[in-house]
Amino acid sequence: MTTTAIISGADERIPKASPLIKMLRRPEVGAAVAALAIFVFFSLSTQTFLTPAGVSTWLYSSSLFGIMAVAVALLMIGGEFDLSAGAMTGTTGLIVGVITTEWGVNIWLAMVIALLAALAIGAGNGYVVMKTGLPSFIVTLATFFILQGLNLAVTKLITGTVAIQGMSVVPGFDAVKIFFGSSFPFLGMDLKISVVWWVILVALASWVLLRTRAGNWIFAVGGEVTSSRQTGVPVMKTKVGLFMTTAGAGWLVGMLQLFDVSTVQATTGIGQEFIYIICAVVGGCLLTGGYGSAFGAALGALIYGMTLQGIVFAQWDNNWLKAFLGGMLLLAVLVNLYVRRQAGVR
């Protein structure tokens, strides 16, 4: 009796997924478990981690990485990388800093100029990748080096130093600071406004991904680009849009940093691009595209932020962070591999 049942169902040749496997298929589950574990660990092992000041510190740190990680996750789901994302946070901050302090440009106008520049660079990345068919890894690596060089060279050329000074005396600085650099009391914490931006962006990105046509296209172009073309998905538009989104997020983080500390270094953001990618991967994004979630990437950033500050609170050697990060990444990739095998694809 049992045998016949198996044979009659055998033409599907799919084992019925257990509820546990179904849950594990959610891209963000691994990250959620890890985030919880790290939260509990540092809460118990340090005095400061769970205090209002402690929480607001790691939330702020997570939010800056989180905003970028969410944008990078969208791009990765769309099947591309952006290694220039880190340098972009520096570039946009420097543009605003240089043209307001040196040339007296209106601060709001300066921000618009920086945003347009970022979007143009993002569109350029996307356009070159799509037109040439080169891997985005290479194209944006080039952009990364170009931006890194320009950030230093141009800043030095115009200001004579490698950091922007006198930002806080620029007219209108305090008005802009309300939106990008202020903090407000929340549940006894002194919460930075960037956390609000982060939450809004995660919600927005999740909504776009799961509930709009654009989101459908992002999954499709990352999953199987030929099929997407055949079914009429605007592949070029989708991918260029994603590169512009990442660049736009770079602008936002650039502003959040600039108006928080009133200065910007020419080396800002360098070396962070891989952290965004790691956050996205830890949050369940596949390196090969077509799978992942914005919420997962946010959890990835939360893990990174909590660990970064937790290690400080625990007064450990800061170098442990990198080793931890590598370990997390490897673990995440292994979980992803398992998920992919369960889904029976590629």
Partner 1 sequence: MTGKISSVTPILEMRDIGKTYGSIIALQGVSASVGEGEVLCVLGDNGAGKSTFIKILAGAHQHSGGTLLVYGKERRFSSPREALDVGIATVYQDLAVVPLMPVWRNFFLGSEMTRGVGPFRRLDVKAMRTITMEELAKMGIDLRDVDQPIGTLSGGERQSVAVARAVYFGAKIVILDEPTSALGVKQAGVVLKYIAHARDRGLGVVFITHNPHHAYPVGDRFLLLKRGTILGDFTKSEITIEEMTRLMAGGAELEALAHELERSTGK
Binding site for partner 1 (CB under 8 A): 11-14, 207, 211-213, 215-216, 219-220, 223-224, 226-228, 230-233, 286, 290-291, 343-346
CB of 73 to partner 1, least distance (A): 15
> What is the smallest separation between the CB atom of 229 and partner 1, expressed in angstroms?
9
For partner 1, give the closer residue by CB, 12 or 317: 12
Rounded CA-CA distance 141/10 in Å is: 48
- Taking the complex as a whole, the smallest distance from the CB of residue 11 to partner 1 amounts, in Å, to 5
Shortest CB 103 distance to partner 1, Å: 36
Alpha carbon distance 242, 247 (integer Å): 9
**Rounded-to-integer distance, Cα 208 and Cα 67, Å:** 15
- List own/partner pairs for 159-165 with CB under 8 A and 24 or more apart: 159/98, 159/101, 159/102, 162/265, 162/266, 162/267, 163/263, 163/264, 163/265, 163/266, 164/93, 164/94, 164/97, 164/98, 164/101, 164/258, 164/263, 164/264, 165/101, 165/263
What is the closest distance, in whole angstroms, from the C-beta atom of residue 1 to partner 1 in the complex?
A: 21
Q: Which is nearer to partner 1, 291 or 304 (CB)?
A: 291
Instruction: Work out how close the CB of 213 gets to partner 1 at its nearest, in angstroms, rounded to a whole number.
Output: 5
Cα separation, 234 vs 158, whole angstroms: 42
**In the bound complex, what is the minimum distance in angstroms from residue 67's beta carbon to partner 1?**
20
Q: Which of 165/288 has CB closer to partner 1?
A: 288
Nearer to partner 1, 216 or 267 (CB): 216
Say if residues 74 and 245 touch (Cβ distance below 8 Å).
yes
Closer of 230 and 315 to partner 1 (Cβ): 230
d(CA 173, CA 108): 9
Whichever of 200 and 343 has its CB closer to partner 1, that residue is 343
Number of H helices, E strands in the chain: 15, 2
Compute φ and ψ for 185, nearest 5 degrees.
Answer: -75, 135
Three-state secondary structure call for residue 289: coil
CB-nearer residue toward partner 1: 120 or 343 = 343
